[in-house]
Structure formats: C-alpha cells, structure tokens
Amino acid sequence: MKTITANRLTDGRVVYLTPANSWTESADQAVRLDDAATDAALDTALRDVLTVVGPYLIEIDADADGFSPAGRKHVRETIRMTGPSAGSTKLTSSTGGAHVSV
C-alpha cells in the first residue's frame, strides 16, 4: 500500500495527499492507495504545482489505527512524518520527535 507526500510550497512543511485531493499535515488523514490507483493519484498531485513541491509515492503499512512508513525509506519517512528525532528544534516541533534507539 502507498500514499503520496510532498513539501508545501509556501513553507516547505511535510504534507500528505488526502482522498479529496487536498493536502494535509496530518498523516492519519492521508489517502491510502493500492497499486492500481497510484499512477493516477500521482499525476493529479504532480499538477498541483502552486501548492506543493516534489510529490512522490511512499510505501506504508496500514491498518485500522493508522499507518507507518515501510520499505527501504521507512526511517527517512518516519522522521518526515513525526519530526526530527534530535536537534535543538526537535522540542519545538509541532509533531514531537521520531523515536531513536540510541
């Protein structure tokens, strides 16, 4: 399963495509796409050039409670989704920090 993410043009914040083809900072509102639907959804996202920069597909593991990034880029996408795991501005991030094991 996949969803589509991008950075918002005006401020660069991480956003996700919703089922209504709008964009949200809230990952739990992101669209969930099976393989057959990804191409059309990405085409739509790529045309929204005045709202977002560089939309792309990411792999996710989803269930009724939500989803988590999956696949080879899961660490990167988890950090994008939940905020920096470290750094001085982590604490002032709107979403908190990603888990880190060290």
Other CB atoms within 10 Å distance of the CB of residue 31: 18
**Any contact of residue 57 with other proteins (CB under 8 A)?**
no
By CB under 8 A, which span of 16-24, 29-37, 60-68, 86-94 interacts with other proteins? 86-94
Judged by CB, which is closer to other proteins: 44, or 89?
89
Does 50 engage in binding with other proteins (CB under 8 A)?
Answer: yes
Q: For residues 34 and 92, which CB has a smaller minimum distance to other proteins in the complex?
A: 92
Residues contacting residue 27 through CB under 8 Å, at least 6 positions apart = 16, 66, 67, 81
Phi-psi group of 96: left, alpha or beta (phi > 0 → left; psi -120 to 50 → alpha; rest → beta): left
Cβ–Cβ < 8 Å for 69, 30: no
Shortest distance in whole angstroms from residue 97 CB to other proteins: 8
Stretch that binds other proteins, among 16-24, 26-34, 36-44, 69-77 (CB under 8 A): 69-77
